[in-house]
Structure 1
Amino acid sequence: MGPMTDPVLPRLILDGGLGTRLADRGNDISGSLWSAQILRDNPDEVTAAHRDFFDAGADVATTCSYEVTTDGLLAAGVAASEADDLADSLLRQSVRLAVAAAEQCGTDALIAASVGPYGAGPGRGTEYDGDYGLTTAQLAAWHRRRVDILADTEADVLLAETVPSIREVEALAGELDRAGTPALLSVTVKPGSDGVLSDGTDVREVAAIASSSSAIRAVGVNCGSVGDVLAGARRLAEHTDLPLIAYPNSGERWDHAHRVWVPRQNDGGPGLLESVPDFLEAGVRLLGGCCRVTPREIAAVRDRALAY
């Protein structure tokens, strides 16, 4: 498992927004399956998008599995008799494509198998508020099959990301521990909250769960503005000795109903590149970008981090 088993996690540069990179390459991700549609219909484009980030200097590839769920496929019109098998196949394919891209680029980068939140499946875009109405046990059961499939691939680590709910954090930690594969956990925080989970829970509760997990190697925040992600990382650092993860988005908000990106009011803080020293000083060891962060920006972040 490489660096994921090292006592001290090395500094790694994550990739950027894979789905939005696919869009920048001319692919239509506006449908309900988002990037999973391209995974299904044009897998060569997924490999090419991974290569773009590797060429920019990314040390980690996040697989195109975030939106791959049986429920999502059913909602997109896949027959009930085929949905489970298709979901399993696409999950495995997402890892194979990332591995192939790394081989083509001659890099020994880590492959992080993305485990998206319930909100990205039947939750209808609720990954930013965690308003699921489900118990921890129900969420664990919903995640179980996907975690098991991805744990049985060539992925180096499972990445449970964009998690908005403390119940989902509990559910995922339990499933990741049960699977026994090294894992990373990244949550979303409320804008302007100074480190409060999207469902209103203080992230110190996330830190406690992650710290007691046998599988989770690092914990962090993603898919928020630079200022919000940095505030969340700093809050986590107060309550855990685990290495931290941070990968903010461009600062825009995803409008799930209209399937468009909506500008947010600037939080008045510096951008991702200018904030690299702040992230590193906060204890972030896995640093990159989320939605709408491009390979060019990842290359700049890498240069800044190496120079720090």
Structure 2
Amino acid sequence: MSTITKALAAQSPLIVDGAMATELEKRRVDTANELWSAMALIHDPQAVRSVHLSYFEAGANIAITDTYQANIPAFERIGLSAAEARQLISAAAREALTARDAYRAFDPGLEAASGGPGRPLLVAGSIGPYGAFLADGSEYTGAYTLADAQYRDFHRERMRILADAGVDLFAFETMPNMGEVRALVGLLAEEFPGREAWVSFSLHDDGHLCDGTPLEEAAAKLDGFVQISAIGVNCVPLDMVTAAIRRIRMGTSKPIIVYPNNGDIYHPDTKTWTPNPSGLSLAQLAPQWIAAGASLIGGCCRTTPEDIRRLSASL
């Protein structure tokens, strides 16, 4: 039984945390750079821990490590050594795990990650796409192509560091193209046989990945992999989620995870946001998503601990 399945047996739906960069900016961490929120690992790791703790306090079951854009080539590009980069990736996992331990200390009855009664608390190691390393919005287009071995070489060491640091599972998140997903799943199966991951896609529309792959087809291709414990979408507009869940359900019986943006509209070319025109929130829409088949729900860009608190209360 997977970690996600065990956690869902204790509590359903599970609440995923919200945005990291938004909260770091409130703590005066500069995220306007190629490393984005990963810059905090260099300058203010305590702020990363504080953000994780704030989401656990708000009701989140799952913290996602601050490693979406933290990879060895990205750190080397700004002048750090490979050894320094490895230490920072490990530190990202440690900050999330320490925040979980600190939160558990407030309530000794909370469930350990390995299972048992009560509220599950998990740490997922974020594995952002190669497009995030490019830092040009490619995770929203999928307009890049590497050979299978190149994708594996890019992701392997970050996965190894996070696994060794003790994360409960991987989050293959904001994935825009199936070529990269196939490489990651192959890498997981062949080199991390005791590990599991969820896969969440970025979308062109509510029925297609950014590279044009039909969403139900993408889900069906992952359905047979036992190490993939959930399939879903993230970093997408709120109004895409319900239809996306229905399409994913057409291709898989696995748990479905959704953690969209807060409704603000992102402009990758200028790295700016337009405020949410609808005014709808995670808490208002989550009942629809559960009815459609989602069982893990959280927030991505621009969401806050208050959004997660309201989401948790509504569910």
Length-normalised TM-score, structure 2: 0.88
Letter of the aligned partner of 2:79 in structure 1? G
Q: Which position in structure 2 is the counterpart of 1:163?
A: 175
Conserved 8 A contact 1:50-1:61: yes
- 1:88 has 2:86 as partner: yes
Conserved 8 A contact 2:140-2:202: yes
SS across alignment from 1:152:
helix
Q: Which position in structure 1 is the counterpart of 2:201?
A: 187
Letter of the aligned partner of 1:223 in structure 2? C
- 1:142 has 2:154 as partner: yes
- 1:274 has 2:284 as partner: yes
After the TM superposition, which residues 38-57 of structure 1 pair with which residues of structure 2 at under 5 Å, given as runs? Answer: 38-57=40-59
Moved more, 227-236 or 93-102: 227-236
Task: Give structure 1 stretches of 5+ with no counterpart.
Answer: none
Conserved 8 A contact 2:76-2:85: no
Q: Which position in structure 1 is the counterpart of 2:301?
A: 291
Distance in 2 between residues matched to 1:263 and 1:140, nearest whole Å: 37
Letter of the aligned partner of 1:207 in structure 2? A
**Residues 76 and 260 (structure 1), Cα distance of their counterparts in 2 relative to 1, 3 Å cut:** farther
Cα deviation, residue 260, structure 1:
2.6
Distance in 2 between residues matched to 1:233 and 1:224, nearest whole Å: 12
Conserved 8 A contact 1:123-1:132: no
- 1:246 has 2:241 as partner: no
Out of 48, 52, 61, which is 1:59 matched to? 61
How many residues align? The count is: 297
Q: Which position in structure 1 is the counterpart of 2:77?
A: 75
Cα deviation, residue 270, structure 1:
4.2
Distance in 2 between residues matched to 1:51 and 1:269, nearest whole Å: 27
Q: Which position in structure 1 is the counterpart of 2:272?
A: 260
Q: Which position in structure 1 is the counterpart of 2:98?
A: 100
Conserved 8 A contact 1:16-1:288: yes
Cα deviation, residue 39, structure 1:
1.2
Q: Which position in structure 2 is the counterpart of 1:304?
A: 314
Task: Give structure 2 stretches of 5+ with no counterpart.
Answer: 105-109, 113-120
Moved more, 218-227 or 67-76: 67-76
Cα deviation, residue 103, structure 1:
1.1
Q: Which position in structure 2 is the counterpart of 1:206?
A: 218
SS across alignment from 2:216:
helix
Letter of the aligned partner of 1:216 in structure 2? I
**Residues 2 and 133 (structure 1), Cα distance of their counterparts in 2 relative to 1, 3 Å cut:** closer
Percent sequence identity is: 36
Distance in 1 between residues matched to 2:269 and 2:235, nearest whole Å: 18
Cα deviation, residue 263, structure 1:
4.7
**Residues 103 and 271 (structure 1), Cα distance of their counterparts in 2 relative to 1, 3 Å cut:** same
